[in-house]
Every structure is written in C-alpha cells, then in structure tokens.
C-alpha cells in the first residue's frame, strides 16, 4: 500500500530524540535522533580512529559523480542505546542535479524470529543535490539483536510528480553495511 504525503502528515510524529517504539500504534514516524542533523556533505574519514572516535564512514556504493541510481540509501550502522533500544544510522545520497526537499521511507521491522514487528516511516529532510547526508533514527524498547531485517515497503516524496515513472522506489538503490538484512 503506497503512503501519500497527506497520509504521512496525519500519522503520529515524534519529537527529535523521542524514541519511536514507545507508541503503541501500528504505524509510526521515526524522528531523527538529534534535533540538528549534520550538514549535508560527504563525511570525511578521521585521521586515525581512537576508542572515543567512531570509525570512518564509508560513502554509499554508487555515490559517485556519474553514478546510476538517483538516490542511494545505505544502512550504515546499528548502535545499542540505553536503557533499551537501537539507533539506526543511514546515509542518504542524492545523485540528482536538484535537491530533494523531503524523502519518506516506509520501513517494516522484523524481529529475531523473522516476524513483522512494526511499521515505521523515516523522514529524511532536505537532501542537497550531489550530496550525502547522515541521519539517525532511534527505535525504543527493541535491542539491535532483536532486529533481523528491515524491509523498505515504499519510498515517497522523492521530488518527482505523482504518477511519474520510474517511481520513487525505483529511483532508490539500497546499500547495507550491517549484519541485518535490508531489502525491498
């Protein structure tokens, strides 16, 4: 079932930093983990990671200047959060010549037994042209080890006219650097 912009705006939204898993509704909108997201730019690798610095962030495959897919969505990292939860780190790369004001990704979370656990809508704010943006989303009351798969059910609001072909979902290539499955 496709989700329209109007339907997404009616769904319960979570304030930045509020964990999505605390609500009991079947559909939730996960907010970015931090009030301010990093500026839209390629993430430069640190000179040498230390125990307090994160390791270098690899740019999504296909994120080059002449890459084929218009949008690359990479699940880059899963990180446990306290008291119980999981933080998803995504890299969203806009290979288009024009910015995307808002990108919505309808995501289905599967538990460790590969059962559908919950539906989320991740909203990526403005993706500048030819840039990569890092966004984090928190899933409360679900440890990272309890997540076996993330299924992209639909992609909406990718800056194209409604009914255009290819569709938003056809314009997005998925990439994954984690141990869980990420698929359409």
Range of the domain at 179: 5-35+68-183
Which H or E run contains 136? strand 131-140
Q: Where are the alpha helices (DSSP H) in 13-155?
A: none
60 located within any domain: no
48 located within any domain: no
Q: Check pLDDT > 80 for residue 31.
A: no
62 located within any domain: no
Count, residues in the chain: 184
Q: Check pLDDT > 60 for residue 19.
A: no
Total of domains in the chain: 1
The per-residue pLDDT for 72 is 96
As a whole number, mean pLDDT of residues 145-161 equals 89
Portion of the chain with pLDDT greater than 70, in percent: 64
Please report, for the domain that includes residue 173, its CATH number. 2.60.40
41 located within any domain: no
Residues 6+ apart with CB under 8 A from 172: 69, 70, 71, 72, 73, 152, 155, 158
Nearest CA to 1 out of 156, 117, 172 is that of: 156
DSSP 25-63: SSEEEEPBSSSSPPPSS--PPPSS--SSSPPPPPPPTT-
The string of pLDDT tens digits covering residues 42-85 is 444 444 333 333 444 445 544 444 447 899 999 999 999 988 89
The per-residue pLDDT for 97 is 92
Instruction: Report d(CA 151, CA 106) in Å as an integer.
Output: 8
């Amino acid at each position: 079932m496709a989700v329209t912009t109007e339907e997404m705006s009616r769904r319960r939204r979570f304030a930045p930093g509020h964990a999505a898993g605390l609500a009991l509704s079947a559909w939730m909108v996960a907010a970015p983990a931090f009030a301010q997201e990093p500026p839209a730019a390629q993430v430069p690798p640190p000179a040498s990671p230390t125990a307090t610095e994160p390791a270098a962030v690899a740019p999504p495959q296909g994120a080059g200047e002449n890459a084929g897919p218009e949008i690359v969505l990479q699940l880059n990292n899963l990180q446990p959060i306290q008291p119980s939860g999981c933080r998803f780190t995504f890299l969203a790369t806009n290979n288009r010549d024009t910015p995307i004001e808002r990108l919505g990704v309808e995501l289905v979370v599967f538990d460790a037994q590969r059962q559908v656990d919950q539906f989320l809508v991740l909203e990526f704010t403005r993706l500048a042209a030819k840039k990569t943006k890092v966004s984090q989303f928190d899933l409360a009351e679900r440890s990272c080890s309890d997540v076996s798969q993330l299924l992209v059910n639909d992609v909406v609001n990718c800056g194209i006219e409604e009914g255009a072909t290819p569709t938003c979902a056809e314009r997005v290539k998925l990439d994954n650097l984690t141990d869980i499955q990420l698929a359409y």
